[in-house]
Amino acid sequence: MSTTAIETSARSKKASIAPRVKWGRIGSYAILLLFAAIYLAPMLMLISTSVKTLPEFMRDATAPPTSINLNNFVDAWNKANFPRYLTNSLIYTGAATFIYILTAVFVAFPIARGYIRGATALLTLFVIALFLPVALIPQFQLMLNLGLYNSPVGYIVLFLVNPIGVVILVNYVKSIPKELDEAAAMDGCGYFRFVTSIVMPLIRPAIATVAVLHAIGIWNELILPTIYLTNKDFYPITRGMIVFQGVYGSNWPTLAAAVLIMTLPMVILFLFLQRYIVSGLTQGAVKG
């Protein structure tokens, strides 16, 4: 944006408006920094608590730690059954995202191309679920009667749906020239091979966006494991964390260390994938 250039040239001509421009800038920074503090404070509190001892925390919860005590992390890792819960979460998230993406591309591609009758109607059908009543109750009855209650497979099946993802993929496929299909079909390339080995690499940015959004949703899900998984061995990290909180609820230093262990991978991943997440949210929002 060239507002700065304008401001600079205006300032050189008319010195009188310079102070106002500067005040605007200072005011902007003041507000931004205030919000930065509001966002950093809870996170700093978490980090500070995680390196304190319990007596230190009890004496003064807010004071900065006097020494760095990493025992809490060892404790949390051992007591919270983290390796098991993290493995479960990774399996659920990985398997469901992989299968979902594969099935979703095969839904989105023919819709975008009009290779099937009623393509528009089908897309509308996918979008409509966002506004319909909560599916929780009948879904539970269904899973119960299919024998998929308290089963990892059943739990994964619950995450094979994401209408917004289909919408994002459809929009992206539309930007790929149709001549490509003709050329491939002419050369005798099969449909499955064409979609998996030519279309999918071409729509990789959209796939990345949808996969990241979908995976975050599964990773963070708390309600579905609460409803569907009763066996502790099947718990994902979210449910495991709630159980851990139930047992160590008053031992905040250990609890804070556990929360950090759970948060850190998310934050690191977020810093790398932010672009995809933001584009997914803004696209999904505009179309949804």
- The interface with another protein within residues 214-243 (CB under 8 A) comprises 216, 219-223, 226-227, 238, 241-242
- Asked if 184 contacts 198 with a C-beta cutoff of 8 angstroms, the reply is yes
Polymer length of the chain: 288
Which two structure tokens, joined as six digits, stand for 46?
Answer: 């978490």
Packing angle, helices 252-287 and 18-50, rounded to 10: 130
Quickly tell me which residue has 């009758």 as its tokens: 117
Site for another protein contains 25 (CB under 8 A): yes
Largest CA distance in the chain: 78
Shortest reach from residue 134's CB to another protein, in Å: 5
Task: Give yes or no for residue 262 binding another protein (CB under 8 A).
Answer: yes
**276 near another protein, judged by CB under 8 A:** no
Q: Which of 16, 67, 145, 231 binds another protein (CB under 8 A)?
A: 145
Based on CB atoms, which residue is closest to another protein, 91 or 227? 227
Q: Name the one range near another protein by CB under 8 A: 42-50, 66-74, 79-87, 201-209.
A: 42-50
- Which two three-digit tokens encode residue 15? 């010195």
Report the site for another protein in 169-188 (rule: CB under 8 A).
178, 181-182, 185-186
255 binds another protein (CB under 8 A): yes
Q: Which is nearer to another protein, 219 or 234 (CB)?
A: 219
- Which value, in Å, is the radius of gyration of the alpha carbons in the chain? 25
CA 163 to centroid of chain Cα atoms: 15
Distance CA 223, CA 229 (A): 10
Q: Cβ closer to another protein: 91 or 277? A: 277
Binding to another protein, residues 45-104 (CB under 8 A) = 45-46, 49, 60-62, 103-104
> Are 76 and 261 within 8 A, CB to CB?
yes
d(CA 214, CA 222): 15
Please report how close the Cβ of residue 244 comes to another protein at its closest, in angstroms. 10
168 binds another protein (CB under 8 A): no
Q: Is 24 in the site for another protein (CB under 8 A)?
A: yes
Q: Which of 101, 98, 119, 99 is nearest to 110 (CA)?
A: 119
- Decide if residue 121 touches another protein (CB under 8 A): no
Containing 214, the helix (H) or strand (E) segment is helix 204-220
How many other CB atoms are found less than 10 A from the CB of residue 213? 22
Which of 75, 79, 110, 248 binds another protein (CB under 8 A)? It is: 110
Pairwise CA distance, residues 130 & 137, whole Å: 16
Binders of another protein among residues 2 to 21 (CB under 8 A) are 2-4, 6, 10
**x-or-dash pattern for another protein, window 198-217, by CB under 8 A?**
------------------x-
Q: Which of 19, 22, 39, 204 contacts another protein by CB under 8 A?
A: 39
